[in-house]
Structure 1
C-alpha cells in the first residue's frame, strides 16, 4: 500500500495522463486496423464501415451516456470506458470482425467522453478555496485536457501508422496495454458518489427536449450547423484521403499515410490557436469565410499529384477548418449555457456532429462500394460543405440584420 501511494499520481495528473494514453490508442488502433484490412485484402470501402461502426456507437448512446456519467461515480465510468476499449482490442486479437471490434471501442469512447469533462469539477473542488478560484482552475484544466488530447491524436496517428507497419501484432498489443494503463490510472482518481435518483428514460426524453429548445435559437442553430458540417467534412476527407494517397502519390505504407493524415490535424491545431485573432467571438458570423476557403481547397485537392503541394493543401484545409469552427464553439457555449446548461449544450453538439459524421461516412462508403471513384467522392463532400456554407451565408445576413434592428430600436 505504501509503495502504491508513493507512485500514485495526483488525481488531476492521473486524469490528464490517462486521457493522453486513451486518446493515443484511439487513433493508433485505427491505423492498425487499416493495415490489417490491407493485409487481408479487404475492399477499400470497408475502411468506411470501420469508421461508421465507431460513430454509430456515439449516435445511439448519445441520450444515455451523460446520465450514466452522472448516475455513477465518474472515476468508475472512466474505468468502464477504458475497459470497454480494451475489450474491443481483445476482440480484434481473437479474430472478431474489425468493424465490430472498433464498434466496441466506440462504445467505450462514448461512455468515457462525458465523464472526462464532468469529473474535472469534482477533482478541483477538493482543493479550490472559493468559486472564483474553482472557475479559474477549471478553465486551465479544460485547456490542458484539450491540449493533451490534440497531442495524443497527432502522436497516436503517426505512432500507430509507424508501429503497424513494423509489426501489426505489436501495435495492437501496445494499444491494449495503453488502455489498461489508462484504466489503472483512473484508480488514482477519488470516487465521488453519483446521483442514483437519475432515470435514464426520463433523462433521455429531457435530452430530446433540450435539442429542440437549443435548435430553435437562430444563433445556436447557426453554430450547430457550422461545427457539425466541419466535422462531417473532416471525417469523410480523412477516410477518403487514406484511399486517395496510394492512387495519386504512389504511397502505400500505412506509416507514411498516417503522417500525411496528421498534417491536417496540425493545421486544425494551428488554426484553432490563431482563430481568436482572425475571427474574434463577437464576429463569429464571419466564420463562414473560412468555410468557403475549405470548400475551394477540397475541390482543388483531387487534381493534385505532387507530394509537397498535397502537404500544403492538407495543412491549409486543417488551418481553415480550425479558424472556421473555434469561434462557433465559443458562441454556442455562450448561447447554450443560459438555455439548457453548458454540459447539456456539449451533449447536444456532440449528437449533431456525430450524426452528420456518421451520415457523411456512410454516404461515402455506399458510394465507394457502388464503384464511385474516390476523386468524385471528394468533390461530392466539397459540394455538400458548400451547401452548408451557403446556408450559413444567408443566416449570417439575417442575423446581422436582426442585430442591426435591435441596435436601432435601442438608439
Structure 2
C-alpha cells in the first residue's frame, strides 16, 4: 500500500482545486434535490419524496465494495472527474423528462463514486497535523455549497424549472472542469484485480479491519447516526413547515436546511480552527466531539413544538453547530485510521455504506410513519428520542472503553 503523503501546505493550488470542485459539485447535488422534490410535488406525487432519497442512497450501499477500491486504485482527482460526469448525465436526463427517481439514482451513483475519492485524497495531500484543518476546510466548502444550493434550488423551483436545471447542469460541468486542476496523485492502494468477487471479499476484509479498530468503529457509528438523522430531518421539513409554520412554498424548508448548513460551517470552524489551535478537539482528544452530538437531540425535541419561523431558524442553526463539532473530528479520525490500514478510499467506502444503510433505515421508518398518517410533530418527537438514545449509547460505550484502557495502562 502506498502510504506516501505529499504534506502540502493548506494554501496550495491542489487544495483550492479540491475545494472548488467539491463546492460546485455539492451545490448542484443539493439544488437538484430541491428541484426534484418540487417536480414530484407539482405532479401531485409528494409521497415520492422519500423514494427520491432512497434512490440516491441505495447506490452508496450497493456499490460500496467497488467504489473504495476504485478511489484507491486510480488517481483520485480523475475518479472525481468521472463521478461528476455521472451526476451531469443524471441531471440532464431529469431535465429531459425521465422519471426523477431514475435520474436522481444515477446522480447517486456518481455521488457514491465521488465521496471516497474526495475525502480520501486529503490523506494523500496532508500529514496528520494538517488533516483535521483540511477536513474543516473541505467540510466548510461543502456546507457553503449545500447552503447556496438549497437556497438557489428552492428559489428557482418556485420561479423557473428551466433555469433551475440549467444552473444544476452548469455547476456539474464547472466542477468537472476544476477536477482537471487537482494533482495527479499515485494510486494509494491498487488492487491486483477488479473482479467483482475479489472486490467484495476485499471490502469485507476492510469492514472487519475497521470494525476491530476502536477508533474507526467509533467514527463510523457516530457519523452514521448523524447523517442518517440529518437526511430524515431534511425530508421532515417539507412536511413539517406547512403544518407547523403554515407556509406552503419550497423556499422555506430549503432555507431552513440552509440555516442548518450555516450552523455546520460554524461548528466545523470550531472543530478545525480555534478549538484545534487550543488543543480542545484534536485526533487524540476526539471524545470531546461527543458534546456536540449529545446536544442535538434535545434541540430536535424542542423544534417539534415550535410554530414560528424565527425560533425554528435559531434551533436549526444550533443543530448545525453541534453537528459540525461532532462530525468533523470523526471524519478526520477515520481517514487517519484508514490511511494507516486499508486505505482512505476503502475506509470512506465502508463508512458510506454504513451511513447510507442507516439513512435508508431512518428514511424508510419515516416513510412508514407518513403512510400511517402519523402527525409530523409526533414523528419528529420520536425521531429526537431515537437520536438521543443512539448517541447516548455511543458515548457510554466510548467512555467505558477509555476507562478500561486507562485501567490497563496503570497495571
Q: TM-score w.r.t. structure 2 length?
A: 0.85
Q: 1:139 to 1:279 in 2, by over 3 A?
A: closer
SS of 2:294 mapped into structure 1: helix
Match of 2:238 in 1: 242
Match of 1:255 in 2: 251
Per residue, is there more helix in 1 or in 2? Answer: 1
Is 1:347 aligned to residue 349 of structure 2?
A: yes
Do the aligned partners of 1:251 and 1:257 also contact (CA within 8 Å) in 2? no
Q: 1:158 to 1:212 in 2, by over 3 A?
A: same
Do the aligned partners of 1:158 and 1:255 also contact (CA within 8 Å) in 2? yes
The offset of 1:61, in angstroms, is 0.9
Match of 1:50 in 2: 52
Q: 1:231 to 1:137 in 2, by over 3 A?
A: closer
Match of 1:4 in 2: none
Q: How does 1:105-124 map to 2 (within 5 A)?
A: 105-118=107-120
Q: 1:193 to 1:173 in 2, by over 3 A?
A: same
Match of 1:210 among 206, 228, 245: 206
Q: 1:49 to 1:119 in 2, by over 3 A?
A: same
Q: 1:186 to 1:267 in 2, by over 3 A?
A: closer
Distance 1:243 1:152 in 2: 24
Q: 1:138 to 1:178 in 2, by over 3 A?
A: same
Q: Deviations over 1:96-125 (max 9, x none)?
A: 221111101111111222333455688x6x
Match of 2:320 in 1: 318
The unaligned stretches of length 5 or more in structure 1 are: 1-9, 125-132
The offset of 1:370, in angstroms, is 2.7
Q: 1:217 to 1:21 in 2, by over 3 A?
A: closer
Q: How does 1:373-384 map to 2 (within 5 A)?
A: 373-384=375-386
Q: Give me the CA root mean square deviation.
A: 2.9
Q: 1:377 to 1:223 in 2, by over 3 A?
A: same
Match of 2:38 among 11, 35, 50: 35
- Higher mean Cα deviation, 11-20 or 187-196? 187-196
The offset of 1:240, in angstroms, is 0.5
Match of 1:171 in 2: 164
Match of 1:285 among 265, 275, 287: 287
The offset of 1:368, in angstroms, is 0.9
- Higher mean Cα deviation, 111-120 or 391-400? 111-120
Q: Deviations over 1:55-95 (max 9, x none)?
A: 11111111101222344454543332122112111221222
Do the aligned partners of 1:278 and 1:323 also contact (CA within 8 Å) in 2? no
Q: Deviations over 1:324-355 (max 9, x none)?
A: 22333344445444443444333322222121
Q: Deviations over 1:272-320 (max 9, x none)?
A: 2223369533443344443332111112211111111111111111122
Do the aligned partners of 2:115 and 2:348 also contact (CA within 8 Å) in 1? no
Distance 2:99 2:176 in 1: 24
Q: Deviations over 1:144-200 (max 9, x none)?
A: 443322221111111111122220121012211222232334445576786584324
Distance 2:191 2:397 in 1: 43
Distance 2:211 2:191 in 1: 30
Counting matched residue pairs gives: 391
Distance 1:368 1:330 in 2: 36
The unaligned stretches of length 5 or more in structure 2 are: 1-12
Match of 1:154 in 2: 147
Q: How does 1:2-401 map to 2 (within 5 A)?
A: 13-43=16-46, 45-118=47-120, 144-188=137-181, 197-200=192-195, 201-275=197-271, 276=275, 280-281=281-282, 282-401=284-403
Match of 2:3 in 1: none
- Higher mean Cα deviation, 331-340 or 390-399? 331-340
Distance 2:22 2:314 in 1: 30
Distance 2:142 2:25 in 1: 9
Q: TM-score w.r.t. structure 1 length?
A: 0.85
Match of 1:6 in 2: none
SS of 2:63 mapped into structure 1: helix
Distance 1:247 1:55 in 2: 27
